[in-house]
Each structure stands twice: as C-alpha cells, then as structure tokens.
C-alpha cells in the first residue's frame, strides 16, 4: 500500500486565499503542499519543477488563466491531475475546464473535508464535482435515459452501454446505476469496463468529457 502523501501545488492569485488553503491542508497527513503559484504560467513552471500529483487551481488569474494553464498542463505534464477550486458557479466554466483536461471542479465554499476528499479522488484517477458544481452542470439534463447521441456513437456502444455511460456522466456510482436499471452491480462494472475498452478512455473525467461531447447529456 502506498502511504506517500499526495504532493499538491496551490495556484491562486490572492495571497490570502493561498494562506487559507494551506492552513486548511497542513494538518492533513495524506496531503503535502509542495509549492504555490500565483498565475497559470508560474503554475506550469512549478509543475515541471516539482512534479506534483495534484494542482489545486483557480480559474481567473493574470498572465495565464486556469483554462489555458489546464490545457497546457495536459500537454506538458499529463500525469498531473488538475482540480479546479473556483468561486464561479457557472456551467460554461465547468464544461470548458472539463474539456481542457481538469479532473474535478469544486467551489470555494466547500468544507475542508470535502476539499481533501476531492484531492484524494482526482489523485486516484477519478473525477470530482462538489455538490454545487454538479447541480450547476447537470440541473437541466434531458430526463430520457439516452438523448440523441451523435452519429456513430451507437455503432460503438450498445444501447445498454450508452445508458450506463449517461448515468456515469451524471455522477452516479455503480451501486446507484444498478439500482436505477434493476441490474446487479457486477453487471454495471462489466458494462463500465466494456465502455472504457471500446472507447479507449480509462479515466472517469475522460468518460464525462466524451458523454458531453457526444450529446449523451444535455447542457443548455
């Protein structure tokens, strides 16, 4: 078992915010804050110098914003997971950052416990949206199990796999999907592995991006 702390870099252009986040995390034995940055360009340098596991990054910053920094990190340091910490409860912000490569999005009013959970989740390869961000992102989804997938998607995935992918993209876990569809958790897990294999997408964030881009979930 790997007991190494999660090496984390904090990125925000407000010193007081950086001090506050560091104070919230410094007593967490599983997280080590190894550096800070005040803009996107500095964040890229810190990522290359320090090789952190996770970057906790703001969106609105001078020199280079969080959108551009996230996209560049995906190219330069693809192993670094980006978790956005923002005050912006905005669907377009969240969607754009997912497409840029962010693994999660939490709002600045989250508790310390939820911040730690989000860092741990993205570090483990998952995706994490705080409750406020999830509601903003998915509150106007089409209620149909599968809604007008893009041409060709149905040729890759079966109808049941499309349905499971949509539920996954909406933030449901395997047990919840099994309950909703009246199937076993093991069957959901099998569908999930088949989806990843067919699409060649191994991360939860990647599946969310794919589902959004293929119109399996609808954003107004």
- Please give the pLDDT value at position 49: 95
Q: What is the pLDDT of residues 96-123, one digit of tens each?
A: 777 788 888 888 888 889 899 899 988 8
Q: What's the rounded mean pLDDT across residues 55-67?
A: 89
**For 39-53, 74-88, 136-150, which range has the lowest pLDDT when averaged over its residues?**
136-150
What phi and psi, each to the nearest 5 degrees, are found at residue 11?
-130, 110
Strand 81-86 and strand 6-11: the pairing is: unpaired
The domain segmentation of the chain, as residue ranges, is 6-138, 153-213
What percentage of residues in the chain have a pLDDT greater than 70?
A: 82
Task: Note whether 167 and 188 are within 8 A (CB).
Answer: no
Predicted TM-score of the model (pTM): 0.66
Domains 6-138 and 153-213 agree in fold: no
Q: What is the pLDDT of residues 133-189, one digit of tens each?
A: 666 665 544 333 344 444 455 557 888 888 888 887 766 778 888 888 888 889 988
CATH architecture for the domain at 6-138: 3-Layer(aba) Sandwich (3.40)
Angle subtended at Cα 212 by Cα 11 and Cα 184, rounded to the nearest 5 degrees: 105
Report the top-level CATH class of 153-213.
mainly alpha
> Beta-carbon neighbour count of residue 59 at 10 Å?
24
- Please give the pLDDT value at position 144: 35
- Please give the pLDDT value at position 31: 95
Contacts 24+ apart (CB under 8 A), 108-112: 108/17, 112/24, 112/25
C-alpha span between 153 and 197 (Å, rounded): 14
């Amino acid at each position: 078992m790997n007991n190494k702390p999660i090496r984390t870099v904090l990125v925000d252009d407000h010193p007081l915010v950086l001090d506050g986040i560091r104070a919230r995390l410094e007593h967490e034995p599983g997280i080590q804050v190894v550096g800070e940055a005040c803009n996107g360009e500095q964040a890229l340098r810190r990522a290359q110098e320090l090789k952190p596991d996770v970057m906790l990054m703001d969106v609105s910053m001078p020199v280079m914003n969080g959108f551009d920094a996230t996209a560049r990190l995906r190219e330069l340091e693809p192993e670094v997971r980006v978790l956005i910490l923002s005050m912006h409860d905005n669907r377009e912000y969240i969607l754009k950052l997912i497409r840029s490569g962010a693994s999660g999005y939490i709002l600045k009013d989250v508790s310390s416990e939820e911040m730690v959970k989000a860092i741990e989740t993205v570090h483990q390869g998952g995706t994490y949206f705080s409750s406020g961000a999830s509601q903003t992102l998915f509150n106007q989804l089409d209620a149909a199990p599968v809604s007008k997938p893009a041409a060709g998607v149905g040729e890759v995935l079966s109808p049941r796999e499309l349905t499971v992918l949509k539920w996954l993209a909406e933030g449901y876990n395997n047990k919840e999907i099994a309950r909703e569809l009246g199937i076993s958790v093991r069957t959901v897990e099998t569908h999930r592995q088949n989806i990843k294999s067919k699409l060649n997408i191994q991360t939860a964030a990647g599946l969310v991006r794919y589902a959004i881009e293929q119109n399996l979930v609808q954003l107004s």
